[in-house]
Structure 1
Amino acid sequence: MKLQVKIIDPRLKNWGFPRYGSGAAAGMDLFACIPDVLKLKPAAPPQLISSGIALNISDECVFALVVPRSGLAHSEGLVLGNSVGVIDPDYRGACMISAWNRNPPGGRSILIRPGDRIAQMIFLPFIRPEYEVTDEFSSDQGRGDQGFGSSGVGPDE
């Protein structure tokens, strides 16, 4: 699959976009394309930050996910305000990052500098099934409507 990427923010050329953290990394790092340092206060509303790119995903059965960088999320509390961002294959606008400081009120603020790698983007195929509305399912897979802990938590459950 060929992916057309439009560079909206010219600083990305100097920052080395696109970039993967390793040879086997699934996620492409996204940079904070902001004019100045941004201070995210704990538990404040999320801020939309441009990634500086737009995409032309040529395959209508592929989409992109914007997800947190695991180290920043775990150690700093920098997550996405929408948990996961979805970039549909027909969207051509700027890819945005909803950055949120999940630290509790009174906790530590997060400083984001222009060019910081704050999120990552992965590409996945998806299926759009045809729907058949029914009153009863045609087969039973054994579990039925049991959920939320019904399979237990221990190794012998």
Structure 2
Amino acid sequence: MSLMIEVLREPWADEAIPLPSYATVGAAGADLRANLPPEIRDQGVEIQPLCRVIVPTGLRVAIPAGYEMQIRPRSGLALKHGLSLPNTPGTIDSDYRGPLGVLLTVIGTEAVTLHHGDRIAQAVIAPVVQAVFAPVDRLEETARGAGGFGSTGRG
């Protein structure tokens, strides 16, 4: 199954940086790349441990109604460098038309420098169901009840 996502490059964006693309036939996520403004392309973006930085992609997207774009970490960057998204998955709503930036953090102990064109995250397109929230006087009982974090045990 495929779905058309309209993509607009920012006026300053480097057109040599590929649009989001899937690395393999079975990939669920399309790779997003850092598309840095001209004034910082040579030095890249350094992210210190436990700091947050929005890394630009140089893109804007039009997600069709009924879908969202989920921004997820790349597993290799997480394993090798501790690079992750503090709000994973990030959500791009179908009615958002602003710049597509990726909020990144380093959960390791060493700073990470991202370079112009680096693959920085994955975009997964997913269907959205909007619920209708209805007030009630009480909820149906379940075996779990109000048991929260850790209430179902370990292992």
**TM band (smaller chain):** 0.7 to 0.9
Paired residue total: 147
SS of aligned partner of 1:15: coil
Match of residue 62, structure 2, among 49, 56, 59? 56
* CA RMSD, Structure 1 to Structure 2 (Å): 1.7
Farther-moved stretch of structure 1 (33-42 vs 109-118): 33-42
Quick one: which amino acid aligns to residue 152 of structure 1? G
Alignment of 1:18-37 (within 5 A): 18-34=20-36, 35-36=41-42, 37=44
Give the Å deviation of 1:10: 4.5
Question: 2:92 is matched with which residue?
Answer: 87
Matches of 1:88 and 1:115 in 2, distance apart?
Answer: 25
- Given that 2:20 and 2:31 are in contact with CA atoms closer than 8 Å, whether structure 1 keeps it comes out as yes
SS of aligned partner of 2:56: strand
Matches of 2:5 and 2:88 in 1, distance apart?
Answer: 24
- Which contiguous aligned blocks of 4+ residues in structure 1 show a shift greater than 6 angstroms? none
Matches of 2:144 and 2:106 in 1, distance apart?
Answer: 39
SS of aligned partner of 1:135: coil
% identical equivalent positions: 31
Matches of 1:131 and 1:10 in 2, distance apart?
Answer: 42
Match of residue 65, structure 1, among 58, 67, 70? 70
Give the Å deviation of 1:149: 2.2
| Unaligned segments of structure 2, at least 5 residues | none
- TM value normalised by structure 1: 0.84
Question: 1:17 is matched with which residue?
Answer: 19
Give the Å deviation of 1:143: 1.9
Quick one: which amino acid aligns to residue 102 of structure 2? I
Write out per-residue CA displacement over residues 54-109 of structure 1, whole angstroms, 9 at most, x where no aligned residue: 11112x22101111101101220111233332101000111111121112xxx321
| Unaligned segments of structure 1, at least 5 residues | none
